[in-house]
Amino acid sequence: MPYEPPTHTVERSLRATTGAKIVAGIDEVGRGAWAGPVSVCAAVTGLRRPPDGLTDSKLLTPKRRTELCDVLANWVTSYALGHSSPEEIDALGMTAALRLAAVRALEALPVQPDAIILDGKHDYLGAPWRVRTVIKGDQSCIAVAAASVIAKVRRDTMMAELGQEYADFDFAANAGYPSPTHRTALEEYGPTPYHRVSWSYMDALPRWQHLKKVRVTPEAAALEAGGQLGFDF
C-alpha cells in the first residue's frame, strides 16, 4: 500500500514557534508485549533529506527495517535508547515506565534537545520537557520515524538474544508479544524472569498464579486511580 513519506513539517513548526534549535523525535516499542522491556528511542535528525523508504517501522518488512536501521545509525545527528525493565513495568505501570525509558533515552543524548516530538496523543513525558504530541508521528515526522525504526530493530535484537536462553518461548519470532507458541510455553513452563507478571495474561495461567504480582507503589496506585495505565496513546 502506498504511503506518504514523513516530512520535517512539525519540526519546522516547533522551531518557528518556540525557537528550538535541537528537536528530538521519540517513539517506543514493546508496550503491548508480555515479556521484555519497553524501549524508547530519541533521535535527532536535523532538517536533512532522509534515507529513501523511511516510514513507521510497522510498515516495513523485518529485512527492510534492519537495512534501514543500519543506514539511520550513521545518518541521524544523534540517537539514544532507554529501557524500562519488566520489574519496573510491574512496579510502576506502563505510563510511568514509558516516561522512565524516555527520560533515560533523552538524558543519554550527547546534547539535550530544546523540544520533543512524541508519537501518539498523550504526553507521558511532561515537565520539564517541551513536548509536541503527534498522532501517527511515526508516519508523518522524519525524526519520529527514524526513532521508530531504530527502537524496533534494537529491541527485536535484544529479544532474539533472550530467545537463545528460552528457546521454547520463540522470542526471536514474537519479540515477547502474544503468540500461540508463547502462550503454550507459558502454560508449560511459567513466566521467565523477563515476563511482566502483573499483567492480566497471568489470570489464564492457574498453575502459575502464585507468581503474579500486584502493583502496590504509591505512584502506581495514583496512576491506576487516574486511569492512566491504559494503552490508548
Chain segment 170-217, per-residue pLDDT in tens? 999 999 999 999 999 999 999 999 999 999 999 999 999 999 988 655
Cell 535541537 sits on residue: 22
C-alpha distances out from residue 223 to 51, 88, 193, 217, Å: 39, 14, 25, 10
pLDDT at position 223: 45
- Using 50, 70 and 90 to split pLDDT, how confident is the model at 4? confident
Q: What share of the chain is helix, strand, coil (3-state, %, to 5)?
A: 50, 15, 35
pLDDT at position 198: 94
Give the predicted TM-score (pTM) of the model.
Answer: 0.88
pLDDT at position 233: 23
Q: What is the mean pLDDT of residues 72-98?
A: 95
**More confident site: 155 or 214:** 155
List, in sequence order, the alpha helices (H) in 3-141. Answer: 9-18, 62-75, 86-92, 94-108, 137-140
pLDDT at position 103: 96
Across the chain, mean pLDDT equals 90
Q: What is the mean pLDDT of residues 148-156?
A: 97
Give the chain's length.
233
Chain segment 53-80, per-residue pLDDT in tens? 888 888 888 999 999 999 999 999 999 9
Tell how strand 131-134 and strand 115-119 pair up.
Answer: parallel
pLDDT at position 59: 85
What is the phi/psi pair of residue 138, to 5°? Answer: -70, -15
Q: What is the mean pLDDT of residues 109-121?
A: 95
Interacting residues of 20 by C-beta distance below 8 A, sequence separation 6+: 14, 113, 114, 115, 130
pLDDT at position 227: 39
